[in-house]
Structure 1
Amino acid sequence: MTKTPKVTLVTSANMPGLFSDEGGLPDALAERGMDPQIAVWNDPSVDWDKAGLCVLRSVSDYATQRQEFVTWAQSVPRLLNNADIVEWNTDKHYLKDMEELGLPVIPTTWLEPSHGFSKHQVHSRFPALGDFVVKPAVSSGVRDIGRYTAIDTLQRQAALAQTIDLLNEGRSVMLQRYLEDIDVHGEISLVFFNGLLSHAVEKRAVLHPSSVTDPSMHEAVVTARPADAESWQWGEQIRQVLHKYMRARLGRDELLLYNRVDLVPDGEGSFRVMEVSATDADLYLSATPEALNNFADAISTRAFW
């Protein structure tokens, strides 16, 4: 007789019910013969040794306590995605790794707190024209991200203040040109389960010049986008790079239970990668009718291995 596998969906104290469109996930897992539960990652009353297969979901508060989160992840016996991936993916310096392996990422100027930049040195690294984005290397969703217009004096001052504040907090800062194609074509997210493309969505930007996002702000307006031949081609290229990197990092093949890749068309028939999310990814399970079932099937496959 097959034992019923326990599956724990891991969340945070500020999102105890998971993402808003994942309410049906526990029932979907139960229908597939699993024993689902929800637990907060830093709840001291949880015995993670008895939690079964643990699936990271709405853990967006990791950004304010990353080291504690990584240490916790390393202590969980059966965690997906695993702790090595969590440590790598919760600091956006991973984009450097992706670029070195050939993925076209958004050009970024990195400012490290250890360099002791003066205000003048920071200001001189801002672009002279167009809009640009300031974001910390450790962040979740669109928190603490600001978009500014380079030729506006007040906005440059606001960008400088935000950057200096982040550096003074000991946080690495990313400076990126704002890609106008996002306003024209939208941002595309490809969602993968067990290495296979499940669905795609198009997101309309919510960042406006001289705005710094509030933690409660939703990331974008989301609509389903057909996973057309172009998406499949991009997805396969990205999948190959990700698995090549994980094989080199871990010394073994590692199949991600889920990951979401955010990208924007470059206007020349290709794309630029904005983010690879394998930790706290909103998987947009309500975007298409089959998405939630695809995720439940993916979890079931791993739970019964």
Structure 2
Amino acid sequence: MAVDGPPDHGAIDGRTTLTHDHQPTRGEPRVALVTCADLPDLEPDDRLLRAALAARGVHVDTVIWDAPDVDWAGYDLVVIRSTWDYAVRRDEFVAWAHTVPRLANPADVVAWNTDKRYLDALSAAGVPTVPTTWVAPGETGQLPERGEYVVKPAVSAGSLDSGRYDLGDPGHRQLAADHLTRLGTAGRVAMVQPYLHGVDTAGETALLFAGGPTGPVFSHAIRKGAMLAGPDLPSEELFRTERIDPRTATGEQLAVAERTLAAVPGGAERLLYARVDLIPGPDGTPVLVELELTEPSLFLGPAEGAADRFADAVVSRLRATA
């Protein structure tokens, strides 16, 4: 017998839903929500998605991405969520992604999106992006003479290994140079970007999209406050704490987000989720800071109905691949 639940949240294409003891029954759709060893039960936001999927009769397992002997082919859909330890093991993570059938988002998107040099491709496609200078290992980066700039690695998660420097200050300038050296010594490509002061006043706007039959559909927006207060300092944290508030997206922001998604290689219609992060540029118009297609926080908690919308996107994908 199926568990009582909300209307239309029962069987998918006639498949059986959960039994009363919450054990999966034969034919029930199976989804893996993928996380890392530091978050074995997901982060709180993703637990909302797990609950919404269970209410729709989907059996959900929480699986650590690098756990041994996982039968990934046994899942109808594998959804990357809190894999926030990938940054220092990107090659291994991308190789893993290519072994997983029915992965969301797809492995080639993961490979493209986990290196922020994708910003160059988006800029070439006409997306307004933060101007970026890249410094490869072994290169001597030429820092601007003055102004506030951000130094961070091209492969990173959660704003870790990122710092803000006033290059007109000799002390900060040396710290920025040391930061570049530290990243290069570790074999990491560095990126140098002007610090956009609009983040201190308007904040950063993240626009969240859930997959639809013809492409991602806008779900909700949130505001993130400024996170970089100064130079990069050693930290044991997996990610930095953010202040999150609901926000109403403007037409201009939505237009930039849609232009960004339209430039994703292979087509945006393959995406189960997307997050577009924007900051006001010097003239106040929105510019892209990051396009998150791999393991972004979806900020389901602050937005009413967001967990249901993303769960519905998963169910739609299950039906399409059944």
Q: Distance in 1 between matches of 2:46 and 2:193?
A: 32
Of the candidates 210, 221, 227, which is equivalent to residue 200 of structure 1?
Answer: 221
Q: Which residue of 2 aligns with 1:250?
A: none
Mapping for residues 255-266 of structure 1, pairs under 5 Å = 255-266=270-281
Q: Distance in 1 between matches of 2:241 and 2:295?
A: 13
**2:240 maps to 1:240:** no
Q: Deviations over 1:57-110 (max 9, x none)?
A: 000111111111111100011100010000001111111110110101100111
Corresponding residue SS for 2:304:
coil
Mapping for residues 255-294 of structure 1, pairs under 5 Å = 255-266=270-281, 268=283, 270-294=285-309
**2:111 maps to 1:108:** no
Corresponding residue SS for 1:239:
helix
Instruction: Report if aligned partners of 1:19, 1:282 keep a CA contact under 8 Å in 2.
Output: no
Q: Distance in 1 between matches of 2:112 and 2:251?
A: 30
Of the candidates 28, 32, 36, which is equivalent to residue 60 of structure 2?
Answer: 36
Mapping for residues 66-85 of structure 1, pairs under 5 Å = 66-85=90-109
Instruction: Report if aligned partners of 1:80, 1:257 keep a CA contact under 8 Å in 2.
Output: yes
Q: Which residue of 1 aligns with 2:230?
A: 209
Q: Distance in 1 between matches of 2:69 and 2:128?
A: 44
**2:173 maps to 1:156:** yes
Q: Which residue of 1 aligns with 2:243?
A: 221
**2:34 maps to 1:10:** yes
Of the candidates 208, 228, 236, which is equivalent to residue 191 of structure 1?
Answer: 208
Residue 18 of structure 1 and its aligned partner are, at CA, apart by: 1.4
Q: Distance in 2 between matches of 1:167 and 1:235?
A: 32
Which shifted more, 83-92 or 145-154?
Answer: 145-154
Q: Distance in 1 between matches of 2:48 and 2:301?
A: 10
Q: Give the fraction of aligned pairs with identical amino acids, expressed as a percent.
A: 40
Letter of the 2:74 partner, please give it. K
Letter of the 2:63 partner, please give it. A
Over 3 Å counting, the alpha-carbon distance change for 1:269 and 1:181 in structure 2 is closer
Instruction: Report if aligned partners of 1:142, 1:219 keep a CA contact under 8 Å in 2.
Output: no
**2:194 maps to 1:172:** no
Q: Distance in 2 between matches of 1:51 and 1:64?
A: 27
Q: Distance in 1 between matches of 2:28 and 2:203?
A: 43
Mapping for residues 73-152 of structure 1, pairs under 5 Å = 73-113=97-137, 116-117=138-139, 121-122=140-141, 125-152=142-169
Residue 235 of structure 1 and its aligned partner are, at CA, apart by: 2.7
Structure 1, unaligned runs of 5 or more: 248-252
Residue 219 of structure 1 and its aligned partner are, at CA, apart by: 4.8
Q: Deviations over 1:177-204 (max 9, x none)?
A: 1111111211110111111111001110
Over 3 Å counting, the alpha-carbon distance change for 1:246 and 1:269 in structure 2 is farther
Residue 267 of structure 1 and its aligned partner are, at CA, apart by: 5.0
Over 3 Å counting, the alpha-carbon distance change for 1:108 and 1:267 in structure 2 is closer
Q: Deviations over 1:122-152 (max 9, x none)?
A: 3xx2122221111111111211111111122
Letter of the 1:201 partner, please give it. I
Q: Distance in 2 between matches of 1:109 and 1:292?
A: 37
Corresponding residue SS for 1:54:
strand
Q: Distance in 1 between matches of 2:277 and 2:241?
A: 12
Q: Distance in 1 between matches of 2:229 and 2:289?
A: 17
Instruction: Report if aligned partners of 2:253, 2:278 keep a CA contact under 8 Å in 1.
Output: no
The structure where helix makes up a greater share of residues is 1
Instruction: Report if aligned partners of 1:8, 1:54 keep a CA contact under 8 Å in 2.
Output: yes
Q: Distance in 2 between matches of 1:127 and 1:31?
A: 54
Structure 2, unaligned runs of 5 or more: 1-13, 16-26
Corresponding residue SS for 1:25:
helix
Residue 33 of structure 1 and its aligned partner are, at CA, apart by: 1.9
Letter of the 1:109 partner, please give it. T
Instruction: Report if aligned partners of 1:187, 1:203 keep a CA contact under 8 Å in 2.
Output: yes
Q: Distance in 2 between matches of 1:182 and 1:296?
A: 31
Instruction: Report if aligned partners of 1:142, 1:213 keep a CA contact under 8 Å in 2.
Output: no
**2:79 maps to 1:55:** yes
- Structure with larger Rg: 2
Q: Distance in 2 between matches of 1:269 and 1:246?
A: 31
Instruction: Report if aligned partners of 1:147, 1:212 keep a CA contact under 8 Å in 2.
Output: no
Q: Distance in 2 between matches of 1:108 and 1:233?
A: 22
